[in-house]
Amino acid sequence: MDLQQYAQENDTPIFSRQALTKLGYHHRHIQKLLEEGVLERLRPGYYRVLNVGFLLNEDLQEVCIQVKHGVVCMESALAYYGLSTVRSSEVWMAIPNHSRAPRIVYPPVRYCYFAESTHQYGIIRPEGFPVYSKEKTLADILHHRNKIGMQTVKEAFRDYLRLKDCNLNELLRASEVCHVGERMFDLLQMLT
């Protein structure tokens, strides 16, 4: 099997050593692919397939591989959707309460612990890795506005309301799930 073709078809350029072994690539094969320039070692046990043309969100994808039940959230999700000019130096990941957060050296990760019902709501996989929908992300940042900052919250909401695919019904539904329904209503009235 051609690894570059597999990566392109499955929209995943980053593989762990374990995943490559499951695909039939053992130590000698991996070493040969590194020498041929097909693979690049990101760090011990993790590799990126080169020349597949879709590596815009590789840090997010790399973290999602390592955090089994993690979902890209908060500032990282805002940046992914282009709803904020703030670029965090950390990847924000939501994990269920009482989960053990894996220690990741690079890229740095900031964990947010969510209740199970809140954690499961609004997960989409537009590029193969889990990220919260725009509406769920906005409800989350409103709920955690003290961590994010009210200026960032207002900027994100203004940008969202300008979008053609703005869905106020889904935004209100997400705000109920995240227990910020009244605050959401007040903020929307203030901004519109």
**Per-residue pLDDT tens for 60-106?**
888 888 888 899 999 999 988 888 877 677 889 999 998 888 887 66
Cα angle 64, 93, 58 (rounded to 5 degrees) comes to 40
Smallest Cα–Cα separation from 47: which of 98, 109, 4? 4
Specify whether 153 is located in the same domain as 74: yes
Query: Is 0.85 topped by the overall pTM?
Result: no
Whether residue 31 is contained in a domain is answered as yes
Identify whether residues 73 and 38 lie together within a single domain: no
CA dihedral 39, 129, 109, 145 (to 10 degrees): 150
Burial of 182 (0-12, 13-18, 19+ CB in 10 A): exposed
What's the pLDDT at 54?
41
- pLDDT of amino acid 55: 37
CA 4 from centre of chain: 23
Identify the domain containing residue 154 by its residue range: 66-191
Phi-psi region of 133 (alpha: psi -120 to 50; beta: other; left: phi over 0): beta
Written as six digits, the tokens of 106 are 């690079």
Asked whether the beta carbons of 150 and 141 are under 8 A apart, the reply is no
Q: Is residue 163 part of a domain?
A: yes
Give the total number of structural domains in the chain. 2
